[in-house]
Amino acid sequence: MSRQIILYDTTLRDGTQGEQVNLSAEDKLRIVRRLDDFGIHYIEGGWPGSNPKDVRFFKMADRISLHNAHLAAFGSTRWPNIRPEDDKNVLALLETEMESITIFGKSWDLHVTEILQVPLDENLAMIGETVSCLKRHGRKVIYDAEHFFDGYRFNPAYALKTVKSAVDGGADFIVLCDTNGGTMPEKIREVLDEVLPGFSVPAGIHVHNDCGLALANSLIAVKSGVEMVQGTINGYGERCGNVDLLPVIGNLQLKMGYQCVDPDNIKKLTGLSRFVSEVANVPPLNQRPFVGKSAFAHKGGVHVSAVQKNATAYEHIDPALVGNRRRVLVSDLSGKSNIDYKSGELGIKLGGNGVESRKIVRKIKELEDQGYQFEAADGSLDVLIRKLTGQFEEPFTLESFRVTIEKNVQGISTSQAIIKISVGDKQDITAAEGDGPVNALDNALRKALIKFFPIIQEMGLVDFKVRVIDGKDATAAKVRVQIESRDDQEIWTTIGVSTDIIEASWQALVDSVEYKLAKSQLPEEI
């Protein structure tokens, strides 16, 4: 039977110390439920002694039932020269009524003498007495030996004394921390090989990613014998972040034969990553291993041709194992294989002789040379392929449009758009206002088209991005506009390129509407 590895998630505490990561108490509860469903063993909810939000969170969390996880409160050892029973931080931990409590203490003598500025023996007492106090109150105690690897490097005897104080106090777990994230993997292995044989309680690892080695250090620690891995979802955390638990789980369970979660839950890995990203309001990293949007994306024509024959040629696992999916990108690097695969994925039939595929490749390479980027705009790619293969006709024609922006003396800006279109032999002139020129143009276009194509009411614009393609021409530079639209079935992205941001926006808006109409049954008569 494979060895069980205990997963300890600290997204809600250590993860929120990362830039741009801020979670409300309600956000934390949503993530707790998702982590519990996934099968995380311990979830660190926060530090009740540090802020009112975490106090409120623990009061709310006490009312929910968890099926797989233990919720842990986090805090520090007692302050110097005070009894644990009189320390506000320790009392706050006990008041959460959590069965599991994690505390950290100093392992590095530099921190003791220069940061805390207390005698070395007092630090040992702070650790032992705090653990002992929590144990007397019936709590399971996880002790995080902060800066252990740096402390062991400079003063190994003292670093081990701090661990002994925690063990003597009754700690259930000792977690060794590479808090500065600067220890090399071979050093992690060397230290663990030296110290773990002398431990009488299970050990864990807690590492940061300052040298880009957090994953390697966590994996090598498991091979060296630790039983718990602490980390965060998506690697959120201070500075360069904590170890990302997602590739930890993927590698340990799918590559190395360890047991982390129920095998049926591995397929939830991608969904968990994106859920936490959404709740934290942090854009997902496309290149994130196992779960990123680009993790199984293929762009080069040689790669796509190989993947069509045997996916293992360029994929280390089946993406479905972790809930991800294969993506074939179309760009100026594309070959016929990319177009054949992508057309099939989009539900577009091509001629079997390859002539249409080559025609599409030439057009895409020409457009990408002008600044288009179809790998991130499936909606525009769909419309382009249909037009080039004669499977889609323009549903309307633009006769003209005018956009005006007015700013009054109070500093309030308003935008209006007037658009004239032709649908068959009928013309329509429509005006609309909006929050900015692009929104006004979008409102006017959809207002005009709804009269002819009522299905347009189902769609809406949800995101708008602008990127300068080449800044050397300053304000006259080409821009690429990317628009994300959705209905109740799907989300699609379209693109436009021009030196005029309004014109680029218009192109993307039209593609968005045409994509919706291409996916729908058009009326036979207008």
Q: Are residues 230 and 152 in the same domain?
A: yes
What confidence tens digit (pLDDT) does each residue in 414-464 have? 899 999 999 988 999 999 998 888 889 989 998 999 989 999 888 888 788
Most confident of 247-251, 408-412, 482-486: 247-251
Q: What does pTM read for this prediction?
A: 0.72
Contact 494, 482 (CB under 8 A): yes
Residues 406 and 328 in one domain: no
The verdict on 333 and 460 lying in the same domain is no
pLDDT score at 422: 92
Do 151 and 241 have their domain in common? yes
Number of separate domains in the chain: 3
**Residues 221, 76 share a domain:** yes
> Which whole number is the average pLDDT over 345-374?
76
Sheet containing strand 397-407, edge to edge, reads 397-407, 413-423, 426-434
DSSP 217-284: HHHHHHHHT--EEEEBGGG--STT-B-BHHHHHHHHHHTS--B-S-GGGGGGHHHHHHHHHHHHT---
Q: Do 169 and 29 have their domain in common?
A: yes
Pair (99, 166) in one structural domain: yes
Tell me the pLDDT tens digit for each residue of 107-165: 999 999 999 999 999 999 999 999 999 999 999 999 999 999 999 999 999 999 999 99
Q: What is the DSSP letter of 296?
A: T
Strands (E), 307-395: 327-328
Same domain, 265 and 414: no
Kindly tell me if the per-residue pLDDT of 526 is higher than 50. no
What is the span of the domain harbouring residue 490? 397-518
Is residue 186 included in any domain, yes or no? yes
Sign of CA dihedral 364, 365, 368, 373: positive
Least confident of 27-41, 355-369, 461-475: 461-475
Structural domain includes residue 30: yes
Query: For the residues 272-291, what does the mean pLDDT come to?
Result: 88
Query: Do 363 and 215 share a domain, yes or no?
Result: no
Q: What is the DSSP string of 391-442?
A: ----S-EEEEEEEEEEE-TTS-EEEEEEEEEEETTEEEEEEEEESSHHHHHH
Q: Which residue has the tokens 């709804």?
A: 450
pLDDT category of residue 334 using cuts at 50, 70 and 90: low
- 460-519 pLDDT, tens digit each: 887 888 878 765 555 557 888 888 888 877 888 899 999 888 999 999 999 999 999 888
208 touches 178 (CB < 8 A): yes
- Taking the C-alpha atoms of residue 351 and residue 466, their distance in angstroms, rounded to an integer, is 36
Check whether residue 58 and residue 117 sit in a common domain: yes
The last residue of a domain, from among 369, 388, 423: 369
Residue 381 maps to a domain: no
Is a pLDDT exceeding 70 seen at residue 306?
yes
Do 166 and 275 reside in the same domain of the chain?
yes
Domain containing residue 442: CATH number: 3.30.160.270
Range with the poorest average pLDDT among 124-138, 302-316, 331-345, 392-406? 331-345
pLDDT, position 471: 55
The answer to whether residues 145 and 200 touch, using CB atoms and an 8 Å cutoff, is: no
382 domain residue, yes or no? no
Between 183 and 394, the higher pLDDT residue: 183
What is the pLDDT at residue 522?
41
Residue 383 is assigned to a structural domain of this protein: no
Q: Do 34 and 143 sit in the same domain of this protein?
A: yes
Residue 233: φ, ψ to 5° = -75, 130
Of 252, 280, 308, the last residue of a domain is 280
Does residue 347 have a pLDDT over 80?
no
The residues pairing with 105 across neighbouring beta strands, listed in sequence order, are 145
What type of residue is 441?
A: L
Averaged pLDDT, 221-231: 98
Top mean-pLDDT range of 258-267, 294-303, 349-358, 409-418: 258-267
Work out the pLDDT band at 1, boundaries 50, 70, 90: low
For 172, the token pair is 């259930």
Average confidence score pLDDT of the chain: 89
Q: Is 391 a member of any domain? A: no
Pick the range with the lowest mean pLDDT from 68-72, 349-353, 433-437. 349-353
Residue 469 in any domain: the answer is yes
